[in-house]
Amino acid sequence: MLLSLRHLAKPAIFLALAAVLGTTGCERKEPMAERRFRILVEENTRLIAAVRAQDPNYLAAGYDETADSGEGGYSPEGMRILTAANAELRAILAGRDRARALEANKTVRAEIERQVAAIRGLEFKQPVDYQVLNRKEIKQTVAGKLSDVFSEKEFHDMTEALAALGLLPAGFPLREKYIDLLGEQIAAFYDQHTHKLYMYEDASLDNAQNRVVLAHELTHALQDQHFGLKALPLEIKTNDDRAAAASALVEGDATLVMSEYMLKNMSKQMLKDSVVSSFTQNMKQLETAPRYLREMLVFPYLRGQEFCASLFGAGDYAAVSRAYAEPPSSSAQILHPQKYLARPREEPIAIAWPDTRVRGEKPISDNCVGEMGIRILFTEWLDAATAERAAAGWRGDRYLYFAGGQALVWKTVWSSAEEAAEFFAAEQQLLAKRHASPEPRTAPGSYAADAPRTLRLRQTAAHEVILIDTAHADWLPALEALP
């Protein structure tokens, strides 16, 4: 439709050009201007030939062939018209190239849809709704999706609490960085709210990597049509760990299908190039992001794929499909699929605080770090081996952050006294390193410091470890009364 409209608009310009060239030949010609004019005329001839090669009927009626021979000679008006005409001809050619690419994409898309359905063992119930976006529109859509879910204030509060835990630098522009990361990397994405598959317009399906990305996104369309992605706790605001686990099912499933698609369609060399380049490209853009953001973005894909591979091993894709009815509830279940597969399933222990107000103030953040978050925290402040050991044995956690007291209360529960002690030791090390308090008081299962912040860390008989961290010592009694 767009093309036929352009087509109708053209001949008028060329008729005008013919008239100008035919009637305004000048006697005295400036050599430089004349040269530029010649070049424009030659370019015009080439562009018209290119446009006609694609559409022989284009400009056929009423167009004067002698006009573009340049015999009319140079005139400022002729220059102006030729420049404009050439720009429009180039736009027509670019538009047709894009239309051809989109048409070619359609055929390739249908073939990828067929393969994805066959691999996943699910049929598309209705045609996939494709939307093609440019880079700016992708960023706008990503930003719009984010602000539909989280307000500016929620982003701010989230950042403040994560900074208090030691997971993000204070004042980190989380929302902006997130949009940058997603907006720049995405070749395609699926939106469970609009049920549309968005593709970046320059992501040609001639490119093997883009075909692989499409196989991944088409799996999301299948998931949505069969299981309803909106029903999953992907955007739950009070339990980041549960949201990460649900995301790991969805992304892990799609990554597993994508991997199988790659194996079926690519030579070994292409496979190697594609995997290496897709990861190095993503990693480069992720490099400058804080560890927490980086690892939580990658977690659903890498760990989720391993989790889904375990389900697949236990019962093929049917087992993966069944998981949508009872999605994994913690990153611990994703990291250790046996916790999810066990009967009864090892579910997180809920931490109940009937009233979360302290000194009459409601927390600005009430959330859960989870085993993966704890691993990231200790990897950042200590080392990866200590982190993995300290985070294992996680059974539940919950934190509250109060803006007025700049106060954090974080309660964790562990499967045994030994597991609790490992976490306690790692957190104590972190606090000592982070705050360098001058005179900390330590005893078995207890760590306390009063400067520069008021810190209390203790392990209880119930395999719990409780951290209180506040900038205002007068908040301590009220905070201690909470757990």
Instruction: Quote the least distance from Cβ 476 to Zn ion, whole Å.
Output: 45
CA distance 370 to 245: 10
CB atoms within 10 A of CB 79: 15
Instruction: Quote the least distance from Cβ 295 to Zn ion, whole Å.
Output: 17
Instruction: Quote the least distance from Cβ 251 to Zn ion, whole Å.
Output: 5
Task: Give the pair of three-digit tokens for residue 246.
Answer: 């649900």
Task: Give the pair of three-digit tokens for residue 346.
Answer: 């090892």
Instruction: Quote the least distance from Cβ 248 to Zn ion, whole Å.
Output: 11
Please report the DSSP string for 189-255 in residue order.
EEETTTTEEEEETT--TTSHHHHHHHHHHHHHHHHHHHH-GGGS-TT-SS-HHHHHHHHHHHHHHHH
Instruction: Quote the least distance from Cβ 47 to Zn ion, whole Å.
Output: 42
Instruction: Quote the least distance from Cβ 155 to Zn ion, whole Å.
Output: 22
CA distance 193 to 410: 33
CB-nearer residue toward Zn ion: 251 or 295: 251
* Contact indicator for 249, 330 with CB cutoff of 8 Å: no
284 phi/psi in degrees, rounded to 5: -60, -45
Strand ranges of the sheet holding 365-367, from the earlier edge strand across to the other edge: 365-367, 394-402, 407-414, 464-470, 454-459, 446-449, 441-443
Q: Rounded to 5 degrees, what angle do the CA atoms 373, 304, 387 make?
A: 30
Instruction: Quote the least distance from Cβ 104 to Zn ion, whole Å.
Output: 24
Q: Is the peptide bond before 440 cis (omega within 30 degrees of 0)?
A: no
CB-nearer residue toward Zn ion: 254 or 479: 254
CB-nearer residue toward Zn ion: 221 or 254: 254
Instruction: Quote the least distance from Cβ 376 to Zn ion, whole Å.
Output: 21
432 phi/psi in degrees, rounded to 5: -60, -40
CB-nearer residue toward Zn ion: 296 or 390: 296
Task: Give the pair of three-digit tokens for residue 113.
Answer: 């849809």
Instruction: Quote the least distance from Cβ 400 to Zn ion, whole Å.
Output: 32
Instruction: Quote the least distance from Cβ 289 to Zn ion, whole Å.
Output: 19
Task: Give the pair of three-digit tokens for residue 216.
Answer: 């991944």
CB-nearer residue toward Zn ion: 77 or 306: 306
CA distance 355 to 362: 9
Q: Which of 305, 296, 327 is nearest to 256 (CA)?
A: 305
CA distance 98 to 186: 19
Instruction: Quote the least distance from Cβ 220 to Zn ion, whole Å.
Output: 6
Task: Give the pair of three-digit tokens for residue 129.
Answer: 């709704």
In the numeric block, the tokens 């880079």 are attached to: 135
Q: Name 427's Cβ contacts closer than 8 Å, sequence gap at least 6.
A: 390, 457, 465, 467
CB-nearer residue toward Zn ion: 254 or 377: 254
What's the per-residue H, E or C state across 328-395?
CCCHHHHHCHHHHHCCCCCCCCCCCCCCCCECCECCCEEECCHHHHHHHHHHHHCCHHHHHHHHCCEE
Instruction: Quote the least distance from Cβ 254 to Zn ion, whole Å.
Output: 5
Binding residues vs Zn ion (CB under 5 A): 251, 254
Task: Give the pair of three-digit tokens for residue 115.
Answer: 């393969």
